Amino acid sequence: MSQTQETALECALVEAIAAQGITFFTGVADSGFKRLITELEASELDRRYVLATREDNAVALATGAQLAGQRPLVFMESSGFGNILDALTSLAIVYDIPLVLFIAWAGYQGRDVPHHNSIGEPLEDILRALDVETVRVGLEDPPEAIAGAIGTALRAAERRSRPAAVLGIPANLRREGDA
Amino acid sequence: MNRNDAIAIIAAEAETAGGYVFAGNGYNARALSALSGRPECFEMVGSMSLCPTLAAGFSRFTDAPVVVVEGDGNALMGLSGYPAAAAAATGTFVHVVLDNGQYETTGGQRTLADRVDLVTIARGAGYARTAAVREPDELRAALREALAQPTTTFVHLPTDLTPGAPHPRVPRHPREIAARFREAAARA
């Protein structure tokens, strides 16, 4: 296999997400983003990827990039969602900033440890109350499915000039018959 | 030197350099709007502490200089953002803290700034250059030097309390601030 093919295979997820229109990546690590972050580190994205120190800083970095014409994706675990409430409401929402939040949904259906369940269970309702559209996907789904969900959220964000969210359900919390 | 003196100098030097200015929420944003008000100015109305990372995200995608001005209350709240801002900023990035030791916007309650060495923190957080200034001429000189360097500079400036009534709130909805700024950036 040539090196080009190898790189292409290694970065299939990031490339699929970029093909949906995302041009800037930032966020805070979670075990659910192992593949995404490995690929981001391996890709030659130059200015298009930067680490954040906290989730609210990631939303601010993404907002700044959007003001320069980028289409940003912010990844975080649901346990860090509380850190972005002010950035979301008093920055991204009031300034009409389309960006996509990709949230690894620990605590989904209350099937996780207590400190994840306490924010994970109301997460989708909180986003809805803030009028942030949500799209669900499995965190272990194929790259095309994850990128497709992100593309759907990006189009909703741009149509509505406000943030939209992709909720990534960890494989170990999924059960047959889930919505 | 008070806030109005400092922001007038910062806005003028940034304009001369063809740069953008981001101001943290509170009286600093109001002063920037009143004393400059160019479309290349971005006034924050909320999200206290996030001005440096907001500006750094923008700086990655512009060749022009980017200047941040925030107070010591914003700075102390946002210290976790300093490494992120220093890492993300690209090209000329100048971060100025106006330190009056107070949350002046909320009525003058004291901050912990007198116990904290912000210049050392900024250097430790990864800013390439730092400066501590007091007088208008020192501020001008520090800004001119920083605005000519393709790297990050942190500037600490102790300020006196600002006399008179504060400037009015920014007379634009935040969505208009963003739209106007975005258009100015797209034209450049």
Among candidates B109, B110, B108, B127, which has minimal Cα distance to B68?
A: B127
User: Residue B83 and residue A53: Cβ atoms within 8 Å?
Assistant: yes
Largest CA distance in chain B: 44
Q: What percent of chain A has pLDDT over 70?
A: 94
The per-residue pLDDT for range A52-64, each reduced to its tens digit, is 999 999 999 999 9
User: Residue A91 and residue B48: Cβ atoms within 8 Å?
Assistant: no
Query: Which of A84, A95, A99, A160 would best serve as a mutation to test chain B binding (most B beta carbons within 10 A)?
Result: A95
The predicted structure's pLDDT at residue A179? 67
The per-residue pLDDT for range B142-161, each reduced to its tens digit, is 999 999 999 999 999 999 99
User: Residue A86 and residue B87: Cβ atoms within 8 Å?
Assistant: no
Q: How far is A71 from chain B (nearest CA, A)?
A: 12
Task: With cut-offs at 50, 70 and 90, classify the pLDDT of residue A3.
Answer: low
The per-residue pLDDT for range A11-24, each reduced to its tens digit, is 999 999 999 999 99
Which of B58, B83, B173 is closest, CB to CB, to A68? B58
The per-residue pLDDT for range B85-139, each reduced to its tens digit, is 999 999 999 999 999 999 999 999 999 999 999 999 999 999 999 999 999 999 9
Residue in chain B closest to A96 (alpha carbons) equals B175
Neighbours of B160 (CB within 10 A): 11
Task: With cut-offs at 50, 70 and 90, classify the pLDDT of residue A47.
Answer: very high
Q: What percent of chain A has pLDDT over 90?
A: 90
The predicted structure's pLDDT at residue A9? 62
The predicted structure's pLDDT at residue A38? 95
Q: Say what the ipTM of the complex is.
A: 0.98
Residue in chain A closest to B187 (alpha carbons) equals A68
User: Residue B84 and residue A53: Cβ atoms within 8 Å?
Assistant: yes
The per-residue pLDDT for range B32-73, each reduced to its tens digit, is 999 998 999 999 999 999 999 999 999 999 999 999 999 999
Which of B83, B85, B175 is closest, CB to CB, to A95? B175
* B50 interaction partners in chain A (CB closer than 8 Å): 56-57, 59-60, 87, 91
The predicted structure's pLDDT at residue A1? 46
The per-residue pLDDT for range A90-136, each reduced to its tens digit, is 999 999 999 999 999 999 999 999 999 999 999 999 999 999 999 99
User: Residue B53 and residue A65: Cβ atoms within 8 Å?
Assistant: no
Which of B46, B50, B58 is closest, CB to CB, to A65? B58
Task: With cut-offs at 50, 70 and 90, classify the pLDDT of residue A44.
Answer: confident
Residue type, A119: I
pTM over 0.80: yes
The predicted structure's pLDDT at residue A177? 83
Burial group, residue B70, by CB count within 10 angstroms (0-12, 13-18, 19+): buried
